[in-house]
Amino acid sequence: MAACLFIVVLKQATLGRLLYPVALAFGIASMATRKNAIGGWLLYFYYWMFAFLTTYVLDVALHPSVFLTHEGQKPEGHLALILAAFPRLLACAATVVFACLLLHYREWNWVEKLRLSLLVTCAASFVSVIIDSQYFPTVVLPNAARCAGVVLWTLYFYKSERVERVFRTHDWHPNEQLQMTTDS
């Protein structure tokens, strides 16, 4: 019942109208919790990945007929749609699973798995944008923006000091570090 209501609400409102206020709320929460281990950009990553996955799942759920073959439809166009949408969706779903496991276990091996999953999501998104440019030019810009976002998050997980300190060395205590520098 609740799922049906959710889909009806989504059909009446654009996805952006729902995700933008949530993005703003998560942005504020991320700023407010930037001193916590899971705060700041790391917290915002979780919002972004769930929004990314929600967008793709809703594209499929709200338009299932698009993904079915139709009489008169060119087979290469249908194949292009499947190759553009489903690998990206599956890669994104896997990334969300690894991100949740990382959040639960907070062990470095899950960071490595998440990094690999992010790289696969980057590749699937990039291939999707190439396919979109040939067959579905109206969706190139939003999909390219999502692809760029995945690339930025991948770089974050490879370069972030917070990720290193929260999950590898387990010494993320910015308040203690601040006290030590002001006391000395």
pLDDT at 175: 60
Q: Give the pLDDT score at 14.
A: 62
Give the pLDDT of residue 48. 92
pLDDT computed for residue 174 by the predictor:
67
- As a whole number of angstroms, the distance between CA 6 and CA 133 comes to 32
pTM of the model: 0.81
Mean pLDDT by 10 residues, the chain (184 residues): 42 62 84 90 92 88 82 83 94 97 96 98 98 95 93 96 94 61 43
The pLDDT assigned to 179 comes to 43
Instruction: Identify the pLDDT of residue 3.
Output: 42
